[in-house]
Amino acid sequence: MRLATWNINSVRARVDRAVAFLERTGTDVLALQETKCADAQFPVAPFEAAGYEVAHVGVNQWNGVAVVSRVSLDDVETSFPGQPAFGEKVEARALGATCGGVRVWSLYVPHGREVGDPHYAYKLRWLDELRGRAEGWLADDPAAQVALVGDWNVAPLDTDVWDVAYFAGKTHVTPAERDAFAAFGAAGYTEVTREALPAEHTYTYWDYQRLRFPRNEGMRIDFAYLSPAARARVTGVTIDRDERKGKGASDHVPVVVDLED
């Protein structure tokens, strides 16, 4: 099974690229983040025409996550149990579905905005609650096949940003965020892209401004944490850097994980 995660940065603007990616790569399951649309606005038809089922949660032009699958799409949850709210709303940032026997969670972790901002505290609560739930899933079933994939909005290592000095005092690189990210490893999960791909200058996101992509001034913030049973099936990982090229590209690229049958 080929599983990919991609912050699409508006699925309506990039549905043709998404379907072309699926067909070109033979991806079976695609987790999407930042779809930026309500459920009724999601372009389901092109995915169905390509042979995929769609599960999506979104309420407006912000956030939104989806799972697209051609190997079954069952037991859909549009938030994880205990998912924190920001203000009075539980945002559209997590969607779980069982696809080909793997419990896939498409995750769009809160950005945090600025250190000290209420959104930063919300981000840390969000990650901590997810970690607790993920740990519980393994406690309930150590053989569970779980994939926590998406845009984590954390750069765990200094080499995951193009210039760590530029990010001093900013979100994504603070010790608290990095500790919250690392806690998933302590909970029994393995971030499999780190095992397969080099750490230095391997990015998944480049800002649209200031020629960041041509200069390779990027960030590595899209990851795949897998449970032990799912990790044992991994045969390869790739980052599809070419998807950042050309007209109408997202500012993120797909991260692809291959699992043996």
| Catalytic entry in 56, 120, 151, 203 | 151
pLDDT in tens, 56-78: 999 999 999 999 999 999 999 99
Per-residue pLDDT band for 200 (boundaries 50, 70, 90) equals confident
**φ, ψ of residue 150 in degrees (nearest 5):** 150, -160
Cβ-in-10-Å burial (0-12, 13-18, 19+) of 77 comes to: middle
Active-site pick, 28, 52, 56, 108: 108
Judge whether 60 is annotated as a binding position.
Answer: no
Task: Please tell me the predicted confidence (pLDDT) of residue 201.
Answer: 83
Q: What letter does residue 242 receive in the DSSP assignment? A: G
To the question of whether residue 151 is assigned a binding role by annotation, the answer is yes
* pLDDT of 24 higher than 90: yes
Q: What's residue 112's pLDDT?
A: 98
Residue 198 pLDDT level (bands cut at 50, 70, 90): confident
Is residue 258 within 8 Å of residue 236, measured between CB atoms?
Answer: yes
The answer on whether 160 is annotated among ligand-binding residues is no
Told to judge if 119 belongs to the known catalytic residues of this protein, a careful annotator would answer no
Answer whether residue 177 shows pLDDT above 90: yes
Q: How confident is the model at residue 11 (pLDDT cuts 50, 70, 90)?
A: very high
127 neighbors 216 (Cβ within 8 angstroms) = no
Query: Which residue, 230, 231, 252, is CA-closest to 240?
Result: 252
The answer, yes or no, to whether residue 14 has pLDDT greater than 90, is yes
- Residue 252 is a catalytic residue: yes
Tell me whether residue 122 is one of the annotated catalytic residues.
Answer: no
Percent of the chain with pLDDT over 90: 98
* Mean of all residue pLDDT scores within the chain: 97
Distant-in-sequence, close-in-space partners of 79: CB < 8 Å, separation ≥ 6: 57, 90, 93, 94, 95
At 52, the pLDDT band (50, 70, 90 cuts) reads very high
How far does Cα 154 stand from its chain's mean position?
11
Instruction: Set out the domains of the chain in order of their start, with CATH numbers.
Output: 2-259 (3.60.10.10)
- pLDDT at 183 > cutoff 90: yes
The predicted-structure confidence for 31-41, as pLDDT tens digits, reads as follows 999 999 999 99
| pLDDT reported for residue 80 | 98
